[in-house]
Amino acid sequence: MADFTDKTVLVTGSSRGIGLAIAKAFDAAGANVILHARSEISPETLAEFKSEPKTLQFDIADPEAAESSLKALYKQESFSGIDILINNAGITKDQLAIAMTPADFAQVVNVNLNGTFNVTQPVFKKMIRQKHGAIINLASVVGLMGNMGQANYSASKAGLVGLTKTLAKEGARRHIRVNAIAPGMIVSDMTGALPEKTQEEILKNIPLSRFGEASEIADVALFLAGNDYITGQTITVDGGLYI
């Protein structure tokens, strides 16, 4: 495991699920972790960390809220900057395309894609001045292969892949690396709520015959954050679903 002592990591959407797993992995690796969520993070969640993480509370879909919260963070006297940004926050609102409302399509794209940009831009500007940094965007395998009932989600995650490649090109001269992780089916409240028959059908299409664990996404985030010669890539972690 890479040593991230004295590195500061911001993980959006880190009150639960994949985001929380990533934040805890960086905490275990010695990093100073900043947690983010739309609502207040519970004391029970904070107690899971070795150190006492900072917390941010704002809606990433609101560009003014994102900018003001990050500006306030950077103005703190003891704050030295963000070394690693993990853009994990996102939503789903599934429906077949013929029944999906324009509002449902726009909301998912606005949170997942625009929201990622809202957080990334102010941090990216600071990283340009720092002349170092790493950004990891949580895309999805459905952004690469599509999925029935997820036109909005697939489009937003495909957009993140394009954003990742562009930022990687723009940031390279200032030693800023930008990559994406595209998870497949990961054990979560959402997958756990699927009917058993549906889970069985999905498993038939996964060569490794199981859903992934959030910790396995966190492992890849640590790897990408610690490798100085990988940028502009999208790493699929999907048990072979997209081959």
Domains recognised in the chain with CATH numbers: 8-236 (3.40.50.720)
- What is the total residue count of the chain? 243
User: Which residue has tokens 């954003």?
Assistant: 163
Do 176 and 132 meet the contact criterion of CB atoms below 8 Å apart?
yes
Q: 56-104 pLDDT, tens per residue?
A: 999 999 999 999 999 999 999 889 999 999 999 999 999 999 999 999 9
Q: 158-213 pLDDT, tens per residue?
A: 999 999 999 999 999 999 999 999 999 999 877 887 788 988 999 999 999 999 99
Cα distances (Å, whole numbers) of residue 59 to 9, 52, 79, 90, 165: 19, 22, 22, 10, 25
pTM across the whole model: 0.96
Do 67 and 39 meet the contact criterion of CB atoms below 8 Å apart?
no
Residues carrying an active site annotation: 153
